[in-house]
């Protein structure tokens, strides 16, 4: 079965974006670029004991939800997964996948799944992007090709915001005119009017690199540009302008002024992020004392300070903590305290002491917060608000909390990343 083609009917979608069907011998088959209800011809790519992955050869019976992609390189670029699917179907399947992942670990199944929050813009929403750069053969600037580390170039990317697209086009033109070998990637933060970029490279000639920095800073109208250059094991950083850019969120009719800097996570879709923050604040409203773990520079902490008596924000990065403190002053918020501390260290320390936190908010990275979750019951909050970008690790951690005496009350999906399989959600638990 490793080389021959065969027919499969696609029943559903899995987290990761692939279609799921069954081969005639009963083995589960995962196939990318297909939709539920379709009959497809596939070729096995890899056999596993309990399942196999296959490549799409031909769609024999199309789903009515199949549409033409906006992007000409969608089939090869690793940036998007679902441009071939209508947007209402994308939202439906993300919500269904979230429910399936959570229900797998939630035996009682009594939680409420609130209606999903779709993105107002399904293209042109990204205010943050990392472009990969290569110079052999010739300069290449783009995204990784699907399932590889090779680079696929683009002229126009439909998911990028206009300012990010403008910077990407300017970068490409300047680097073609003044190539600097050794650049590996360029990260762009352009959430609103202000924008910054971070250029990473190895073995760059300092004089040449600084000359390029000045050209990019001037010609692209940047608020700041940073260069991180590796020479062997040594890293040198050069900055022109600022390391951060400012942006604002509308949360419940109130404007919150924040800033973005490199090394910290920023939501790429600000419109959906505003709704996400507002939802979290509504769940935390009336709290006496909130512990905000993995707080970054205050995406949740500062808005939460307006609905609670006090907030303690815990973030490992000292630079992000400094940024959060500055934003708190700018927003005239004096009841939030930022601590530069690892989330697990903080949870362990607080759990060993007497805590007065009645609410915990956490927004961990994709790997979730398994170890941290183990200490939350000892902290003793009456409610836990868990923001997640990975339904699989969320389901695992919710199960741990349920076994420790918490009940999952409701969960809601926010479509932060249209055209991809990525799922952002908020789970609300009570003791």
Average of per-residue pLDDT across 234-256: 90
The model's pLDDT over 407-420, given as tens digits with 9 standing for 90+, comes to 999 999 999 999 99
Listed in order, the ranges of the chain carrying CATH 3.40.50.150 are 91-120+269-430
Listed in order, the ranges of the chain carrying CATH 2.40.50.1070 are 128-244
The model's pLDDT over 248-294, given as tens digits with 9 standing for 90+, comes to 999 989 999 999 887 777 789 999 999 999 999 999 999 999 999 99
Please tell me the least confidently modeled range out of 3-7, 39-43, 210-214, 421-425.
Answer: 3-7
pLDDT at 110: 77
pLDDT at 346: 95
pLDDT at 147: 87
**Would you place residue 3 in the very low, low, confident or very high pLDDT band (cuts 50, 70, 90)?**
low
Average of per-residue pLDDT across 217-239: 86
The model's pLDDT over 76-91, given as tens digits with 9 standing for 90+, comes to 999 999 999 999 999 9
On the question of pLDDT at 21 being above 70, the answer is yes
Tell me which long-range contacts 59-66 makes (C-beta under 8 A, separation of at least 24): 59/34, 60/7, 61/37, 62/35, 62/38, 63/35, 63/36, 63/37, 63/38, 64/37, 65/35, 65/37, 65/89, 66/35, 66/38
Give the closest residue to 358 by CA, choosing from 383, 325, 333, 391: 383
Average of per-residue pLDDT across 291-298: 96
pLDDT at 29: 98
On the question of pLDDT at 11 being above 70, the answer is yes
For the chain, the three-class secondary structure string (H helix, E strand, C coil) is CCCCEEEEEEEEECCCCCEEEECCCCCEEEECCCCCCCEEEEEEEEECCCEEEEEEEEEEECCCCECCCCCCCCCCECCCCCCCECHHHHHHHHHHHHHHHHHHHCCCCCCEECCCECCCCCCCCECEEEEEEECCCCCEEEEEECCCCCEEECCCCCCECHHHHHHHHHHHHHHHHCCCCCEEEEEEECCCCCCEEEEEEECCCHHHHHHHHHHHHHHCCCCEEEEEEEECCEEEEEEEECCEEEEEEEECCEEEEEEEECCCCCCCCHHHHHHHHHHHHHHHCCCCEEEEECCCCCCCHHHHCCCCCEEEEEECCHHHHHHHHHHHHHCCCCCEEEEECCHHHHHHHHHHCCCCCCEEEECCCCCCCHHHHHHHHHHCCCEEEEEECCHHHHHHHHHHHHHCCCEEEEEEEECCCCCCCCCEEEEEEEC
On the question of pLDDT at 235 being above 80, the answer is no
pLDDT at 385: 98
pLDDT at 108: 52
Q: What percent of the chain has pLDDT over 70?
A: 97
pLDDT at 210: 87
What's domain 128-244's architecture?
Beta Barrel (2.40)
How many C-beta neighbours within 10 Å does residue 163 have?
19
Distance CA 218, CA 241 (A): 10
The model's pLDDT over 105-161, given as tens digits with 9 standing for 90+, comes to 765 557 889 999 999 999 999 999 999 998 766 778 999 999 899 999 999 999 999
pLDDT at 408: 96
pLDDT at 206: 77
On the question of pLDDT at 1 being above 90, the answer is no
The model's pLDDT over 301-352, given as tens digits with 9 standing for 90+, comes to 999 999 999 999 999 999 899 999 999 999 999 999 999 999 999 999 997 7
Average of per-residue pLDDT across 49-77: 96
pLDDT at 2: 47
Q: Of how many residues is the chain composed?
A: 431
pLDDT at 176: 87
What residues contact residue 394 under an 8 Å CB cut-off, 6+ apart?
101, 102, 368, 386, 388, 425, 427
pLDDT at 313: 97
Whole-model pTM? 0.94
pLDDT at 109: 59
Catalytic site residues? 389
CATH superfamily, with its number, for domain 5-66: Nucleic acid-binding proteins (2.40.50.140)
Residue 350 vs residue 236, higher pLDDT: 350
Specify whether domain 91-120+269-430 bears CATH 3.40.50.150: yes
How many C-beta neighbours within 10 Å does residue 160 have?
25
């Amino acid at each position: 079965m490793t080389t021959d083609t065969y027919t499969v009917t696609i029943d559903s979608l899995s987290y990761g974006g692939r279609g799921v069907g069954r081969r005639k011998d009963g083995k589960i088959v995962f196939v990318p670029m297909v939709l539920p209800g379709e009959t497809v011809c596939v070729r096995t790519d890899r056999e596993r004991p309990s399942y196999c992955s296959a490549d799409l050869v031909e769609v024999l019976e199309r789903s009515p939800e199949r549409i033409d992609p906006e992007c000409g390189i969608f089939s090869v670029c690793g940036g998007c997964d679902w441009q071939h699917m209508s947007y209402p179907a994308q939202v439906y399947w993300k919500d269904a996948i979230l429910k399936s992942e959570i229900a797998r670990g939630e035996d009682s199944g009594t939680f409420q799944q609130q209606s999903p929050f779709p993105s107002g813009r399904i293209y042109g929403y990204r205010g943050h992007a990392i472009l990969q750069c290569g110079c052999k053969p010739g300069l290449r600037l783009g995204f990784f090709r699907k399932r590889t580390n090779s680079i696929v170039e683009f002229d126009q990317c439909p998911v990028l915001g206009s300012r990010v697209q403008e910077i990407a086009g300017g970068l490409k033109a300047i680097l073609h005119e003044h190539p600097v070998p050794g650049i590996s990637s360029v990260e762009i933060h352009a959430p609103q009017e202000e924008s910054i970029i971070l250029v990473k490279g190895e073995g760059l000639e300092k004089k040449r690199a600084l000359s390029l920095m000045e050209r990019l800073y001037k010609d692209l109208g940047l608020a700041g540009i940073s260069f991180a250059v590796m020479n062997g094991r040594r890293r040198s950083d050069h900055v022109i302008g600022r390391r951060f850019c400012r942006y604002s969120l509308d949360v419940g009719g109130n404007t919150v002024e924040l800033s973005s800097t490199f090394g910290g996570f920023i939501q790429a879709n600000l419109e959906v992020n505003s709704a996400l923050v507002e939802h979290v604040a509504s769940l935390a409203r009336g709290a006496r004392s909130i512990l905000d773990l993995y707080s970054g520079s205050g995406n949740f902490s500062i808005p939460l300070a307006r609905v609670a008596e006090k907030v303690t924000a815990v973030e490992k990065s000292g630079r992000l903590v400094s940024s959060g403190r500055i934003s708190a002053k700018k927003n005239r918020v004096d009841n939030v305290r930022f601590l530069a501390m690892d989330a697990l260290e903080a949870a362990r320390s607080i759990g060993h002491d007497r805590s007065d936190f009645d609410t915990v908010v956490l927004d961990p990275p994709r790997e979730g917060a398994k170890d941290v979750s183990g200490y939350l019951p000892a902290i003793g909050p009456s409610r836990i608000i868990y923001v997640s970008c990975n339904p699989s690790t969320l389901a695992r951690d919710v199960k741990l909390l349920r076994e420790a005496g918490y009940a999952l009350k409701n969960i809601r999906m926010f479509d932060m990343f249209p055209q991809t399989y990525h799922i952002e959600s908020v789970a609300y638990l009570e003791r």
